Amino acid sequence: MSERISRILLTILIIAAAILVAESPYVQRLAKTEYTFFTTFISVTVLHIRLRHTLSELGILAFSTAALVAIASRGDHFPPGAPLCLTCLGLASLVILGVHTAWAPKQARAVIGWGFVAGLSIVFLGWVIPPMLTWVAKSNPKGFDLYLYSFDASLRFQPSFLLGRAFLKWPLFGKFSTGVYMAISSIYMFVFADLLLRKLKEARAVFLAFLVSGPVGILFYNLFPALGPLYLFGPNFPLQPLPSSAIQHLRLEPVSLYGFPNAMPSLHMTWALLALWYARGAALWVRLVASVFLAFTIVSTLGTGEHYLADLVVAMPFSLMLLAAFSFSAPWADAWRIRAIVFGLAATVLWMTLLRFQPHFFWISPAIPWSLITLTVAVTVFLEGRLAISSNGEVTTLDRVRLEEQRSAEVLRPDISAS
């Protein structure tokens, strides 16, 4: 009886908290002004539907959303718009997950409970990241955008401007890509939910990697603050880039720009990469969704002017470092896990050092930046593959050959003690 009373009280508490959140003018203002806020709530709905997608569940979700929208838009509060409705949709999913956690049978509580914890955590993360970015902006009033712009131009083309013009030429392509950029947390929660249904232990690692990647990325923003070509060029982006001959001889120095210095490394690229890597072993359609999301994340980060190509390159070893750090299936002493962490951290720091202190090195020949990009991508992909094998406990052909060589050497080695 006491357990039943506890469940009833927890249910009342969850519903009451949701009503208070829906009524809060502060929350409504964030939903209207911060796209990361309502897109974070959307990702909770993605998680919810992936875990429980019956017709009755969808009906409860629709009714709960309508009730929260009615509560949020009454009186002198904001009129209901798309951002507020989407926020209420995610809030309704969070409430339903919480109630299911309270009433679920013991054997099913772990999965649904981790879903509820993940939903709460991502909402909290979406709440605290804007103040953290504000802190980064105040701590770094000048950004190194000219250095990143110089690197991109040293490739002998300017990818952000090229894709930015493509967005203007094909508006639907641009809108879809921008939508992917805004909904990046949804793909991560989608992959997390899929893994939660298949492998609970590995799903916890996915959750922790995502939770930690934001604050860690923000710390790296302080090492190399930059905003993106949209903020560097303003209304001249993407139609009026500087010619390569002028960029090569440009005086590089930190510049004051208005906005959040959250370009280097690209966390959007990081989350899309991690989602694809964590989708390994999932159904084909799940892997295809993650692959499409990664492709459009690359396009959208550049075409929107929010990132330079250098940001995406540095995000690869940065992502590998996070992946290895939270690969709990492999022991800490595993050689490939250690190599992935060391390479990920070293390559991230080395790239930032070269971009900041040796920017003209990339202009010696276009072969230099292209070779470094190719090397970074190739080593990252190789180490990620080896780490996946180590985490799954698989033995490769190369490992078998080495084991056979060791055994042969032991057989042929003379018995010293016998002599």
Digit-coded pLDDT (tens) for 262-319: 999 999 999 999 999 999 889 999 999 999 999 999 999 999 999 999 999 999 999 9
Percent of the chain whose predicted confidence (pLDDT) is above 90:
61
- pLDDT band of 407, cuts 50, 70, 90: low
Residue 419 scores a pLDDT above 70: no
| 142 bridge partner residues | 256
User: CA distances (Å), 176 to each of 34, 79, 103, 180, in order?
Assistant: 19, 26, 39, 6
User: CA distances (Å), 199 to each of 192, 208, 211, 279, 280, in order?
Assistant: 10, 15, 19, 12, 12
pLDDT at 284 (0 to 100): 94
User: CA distances (Å), 317 to each of 275, 301, 308, 321, in order?
Assistant: 15, 18, 16, 6
* Contact in structure between 348 and 317 (CB atoms under 8 Å): yes
User: CA distances (Å), 180 to each of 18, 247, 296, in order?
Assistant: 28, 31, 7
pLDDT tens per residue across span 80-97: 678 888 899 999 999 999
Question: Which position has the higher pLDDT, 47 or 393?
Answer: 47
159-179: b (≥16 Cβ within 10 Å) or e: bbbebbbbbeeeeebbeebbe
pLDDT at 14 (0 to 100): 92
Write the DSSP string, 142-176: EE-HHHHHHHHHHTTS-HHHHHHHHHHHSHHHHHH
Instruction: Give the Cα separation of 304 and 358 in Å (integer).
Output: 27
pLDDT averaged over every residue in the chain: 88
pLDDT at 366 (0 to 100): 95
- pLDDT band of 203, cuts 50, 70, 90: confident
Domain boundaries, the chain: 1-139
- Report the candidate in 130, 23, 131, 133 with the shortest Cα–Cα distance to residue 87: 23
Residue 417 scores a pLDDT above 50: no
Residue 404 scores a pLDDT above 60: no
Residue 399 scores a pLDDT above 60: no
Look up residue 24 and give its two tokens.
């809060």
On the 0-12 / 13-18 / 19+ scale of CB atoms within 10 A, 382 is middle
Instruction: Give the Cα separation of 61 and 59 in Å (integer).
Output: 5
Lowest-pLDDT range of 53-67, 72-86, 224-238, 326-340: 72-86
* Contact in structure between 95 and 15 (CB atoms under 8 Å): yes
* Contact in structure between 72 and 28 (CB atoms under 8 Å): yes
Angle, vertex CA 81, rays to CA 80 and CA 82, nearest 5 = 135
pLDDT tens per residue across span 310-349: 999 999 999 999 999 999 888 888 999 999 999 999 999 9
Look up residue 9 and give its two tokens.
């009280």
Taking 3-state DSSP, the helix, strand and coil percentages for the chain, each rounded to the nearest 5, stand at: 80, 0, 20
Mean predicted confidence (pLDDT) in 237-265: 91
- Reduced to 3 states, what is the DSSP secondary structure of residue 333? coil
pTM score, whole prediction: 0.88
- Reduced to 3 states, what is the DSSP secondary structure of residue 263? coil
pLDDT at 323 (0 to 100): 95
pLDDT at 73 (0 to 100): 77
**Which positions ≥6 away from 418 have C-beta within 8 Å?**
none
Instruction: Give the Cα separation of 355 and 371 in Å (integer).
Output: 15
Residue 403 scores a pLDDT above 80: no
Lowest-pLDDT range of 33-47, 263-277, 303-317, 355-369: 33-47
Handedness of CA 319, 322, 324, 326 (dihedral sign): negative
- Mean pLDDT highest for which of 104-118, 144-158, 191-205, 382-396? 144-158
pLDDT tens per residue across span 131-170: 888 889 999 999 999 999 999 999 999 999 999 999 999 9
